[in-house]
Amino acid sequence: MVPTPITVRVPAKVNLHLAVGDPRPDGYHELITVFQAVSMTDEVTVLVADEPGIDVHGEGADSVPTGPSNLAWKAVRLLAERSERDPEEPGVRLSISKGIPVAGGMAGGSADAAAALLALNHLWRLELGRDELCDIAAQLGSDVPFALQGGTALGTGRGERLVPVLARHTFHWVIALDRRGLETPTVFGELDRLREESKPNRVGEVEPLLEALASGDPRQLALLLGNDLQAAAVSLRPGLRRTLRAGVQAGALAGIVSGSGPTCAFLCTDADSAVRVAAELSGAGVCRTVRVAQGPVPGARIVSDDRAD
Ligand code: ATP
């Protein structure tokens, strides 16, 4: 019997704190970061097919590769190899429905890879536990384990070593999407260049932010949001300065570039305020489109399955 297709929903992330160390000998930067999963999601469906491949639909689908460089496809191949299937002909098709902006600093590709791992674990009945899946996820990319885990977490190393963080209450965000993406390596390169040229401010210690999350007070949290990559993203895309200003003028408590940008995330007092800020920001004409989101939300999870368990 052909197994029923399995669909996994997976969230985007924002980095509430992103401290970037100096480049390591392997070229990666040592990071201390706090991720929060927010309610902007992709859906990835895996199905058994004679003709393997990928279809992509939705937000920015045109700029997502449908060949071997798609991170979700790399996940398929890695898991096929691990489970002694032919990685060249894994016999599955992926259908990706994008709600997470592409190259937006919200880890959309990583999210799809995490979703593909979880979906295939069920489709192929591999019965790998969360820890094993997280190990495989870390081989695919620094942000992939967090997309599996979701919630709020402290990440160290390249961001792949995770510890869950207590975040009381739900936080309300307005997310401003830019017209074009920014490539993550370019933004890290720009930060290295800025640091050679001058000494841009670095974010402080992470502990006060962890306390603010535990208290659940958005006003306290707003004062502590920080991202070392922001200066680099703004240097490459100066218009972001205007977007960040417009969000605060519209009533947000604070705004921050998400990860490597160019998406900006604005923390709001409550759900009503987020709706008002989103409406005003969208009228200001400083970004392509605006979304309202909440966090934390769970990581990758199956939303359809043949066993309905
Ligand atoms: P991050 O925050 O993890 O650095 P990002 O959110 O800025 O990443 P992604 O949406 O993951 O960016 O896309 C980065 C690049 O990866 C894009 O240029 C895109 O072409 C490529 N890519 C590969 N696979 C995918 C995928 N499944 N979805 C989106 N982009 C993908």
* CA-based torsion, 189, 193, 195, 196: positive or negative: positive
Phi and psi torsions of 47, nearest 5°: -145, 150
Q: Under CATH, to which class is 171-295 assigned?
A: alpha beta
Ligand 1: residue whose CA is nearest its atom 9: 103
| CA atoms within 13 Å, Cβ hemisphere of 25 | 0
pLDDT digits (tens, 9 = 90+) for 101-133: 998 999 999 999 999 999 999 999 999 999 999
Nearest-angstrom CA–CA distance, 130 and 154: 17
Closest ligand 1 atom to residue 143 Cα is 3
Domain residue spans of the chain: 6-165, 171-295
Question: Which amino acid type is present at position 116?
Answer: A
Q: What is the residue-wise DSSP string for 40-74?
A: EEEEEEEEE-SS-EEEEEETTGGGS--STTSHHHH
CB neighbour list of residue 123: distance below 8 Å, 6 or more residues apart: 3, 5, 6, 46, 47, 48, 92
Span from the CA of 182 to the centroid of ligand 1 (angstroms): 10
Span from the CA of 110 to the centroid of ligand 1 (angstroms): 7
**What is the mean predicted confidence (pLDDT) over 241-248?**
97
Say yes or no to pLDDT of 308 above 50.
Answer: no
Is 226 part of any known ligand binding site?
Answer: no
CATH topology of domain 6-165: Ribosomal Protein S5; domain 2 (3.30.230)
Ligand 1: residue whose CA is nearest its atom 3: 107
Ligand 1: residue whose CA is nearest its atom 23: 70
pLDDT digits (tens, 9 = 90+) for 83-100: 988 888 878 999 999 999
pTM beyond 0.90, yes or no: yes
On the question of a common fold for 6-165 and 171-295, the answer reads no
Phi and psi torsions of 18, nearest 5°: -140, 100
Span from the CA of 103 to the centroid of ligand 1 (angstroms): 5
- DSSP reduced 3-state for 28: coil
CA distances to 5, 28, 201, 233 from 158, rounded to whole Å, are: 33, 7, 21, 19
Nearest-angstrom CA–CA distance, 257 and 105: 8
Mean pLDDT of the chain: 94
